[in-house]
Amino acid sequence: MKLRTLTKLAAATLVLAAPASLYAADAEEGKPAKTMPETPSDVAAAPADALTTESGLKHKLLTEGKGKTKPTATDTVTVHYSGWTTDGKLFDSSVERGEPTSFPLSGVIKGWTEGLQLMVEGEKRRFWIPADLAYGENPGGGRPGGLLVFDVELISIKEAPKPPEGTEKSEKGVAYKVTKKGEGSDKPGADDVVTFHMTAKSMEGQTLQDTRSAPTPPSVPLNGPGLPPELAEALGDMVAGEQRTCWLPEPRVPGGFVVAELELISFKKAPPAPPVPEDVGAVPADAVKTDSGLASKVIKAAEGEKPKATDTVSVHYTGWTLDGKMFDSSVTRGEPTQFPLNQVIKGWTEGVQLMNVGEKRRFWIPADLAYGENPQGGAPGGMLVFDIELLEIVR
């Protein structure tokens, strides 16, 4: 469900995946010829002379490099590599494709992020990467599981861009520049709700998020779960009307920083959180179930119009997990939320169509109608409980 709570700013973590060219029958004209790398004789287990880091990563120098600088986690590296499972099966290789690969070092499996920082340009090293530093024991998506073995040659290092000179630093070390002064001297308190605009970009200028494309700016409790700590610190240090650019550390984004252009529009005291429902832990006997498994019961009846899936609605809502933990609420932000009803989770699309304008209803939404059992990106998993008040149908 797309609500106005701001979640993590990170872009999707990159993984090592074989491009389609890996499966081409012949090299394209003008491209380097493909070479099948030789399977290492010690692929099944690391030899006695391999070194081991505190994380459990094992490695062995194959060819000394000529460079003097090692990459950092935020740098972009160009490498040649080949990867095997412990039974000697080659599952990916830039050597076979005849072309090296470049990627931000922070955007790959943990074993690569750690291991490449041990190397200098021109060096070749073999790594035995345990499952917890690779893709796990039983990953999905066709990725190999368990201990993986890689031969990696570090060809070049491109240093990540850094915040410009002349920036100020916050107490937590976040670089920023004030681009427009605000009015007054009052700043948001920890319990306040802040309303703001943000354009978030990578260091290369790629737009990651722009709240100005939404109908209204986000309003979020400053100390709530919707804001990363660095962003909350920045907003908490601003006055109304102020604009500033902040370089927020985010290792999963190319360049290692999110460049956030912030404008604090206003702030106000947060209303108290709604009480946790007594029946939050399980669907009660008096709830009504639909064929999909959605359960609900009316808390406040009304006789207004019912919306259609294509309508935009205005609602107040609060959401809890089954253990009573509140994870999102328009009530604590002090203002309702609008959204197209066909662009939220299935349980909302179905459930709100059962309601009349003015009605308040409690829903028990099973995982397959919400975010799933184990969702990514900080969304809550499993069955969720929502109190929803339908305020208006906005055509």
Contact 202, 255 (CB under 8 A): yes
In the chain, count H helices and then E strands.
Answer: 4, 21
How many CB atoms are closer than 10 A to CB 265?
A: 14
pTM: 0.56
* Domains assigned to the chain: 32-158 (3.10.50.40), 168-269 (3.10.50.40), 288-394 (3.10.50.40)
Q: Which residues pair with 178 in a beta bridge?
A: 244
Residue 113 has pLDDT above 50, yes or no: yes
pLDDT at 30: 52
Residue 1 has pLDDT above 70, yes or no: no
Active site positions, annotated: 317, 327-328, 345, 371, 386
Pick from 228, 217, 262, 266: which is nearest to 244 by CA? 262
Residue 7 has pLDDT above 80, yes or no: no
Mean pLDDT computed over every residue of the chain: 88
Between 5-19, 26-40, 230-244, 273-287, the lowest mean confidence (pLDDT) is in 5-19
Mean pLDDT of 90-99: 95
Residue type, 379: A
Residue 362 has pLDDT above 90, yes or no: yes
Which letter does DSSP use for residue 213 in this model?
G
Q: What are phi and psi of 298, to 5 degrees?
A: -80, 130
Residue type, 69: T
pLDDT tens for residues 134-174? Answer: 999 988 788 999 999 999 999 999 987 888 988 999 998 89
pLDDT tens for residues 266-284? Answer: 999 988 889 999 999 999 9
In whole angstroms, how large is the CA radius of gyration of the chain?
Answer: 26
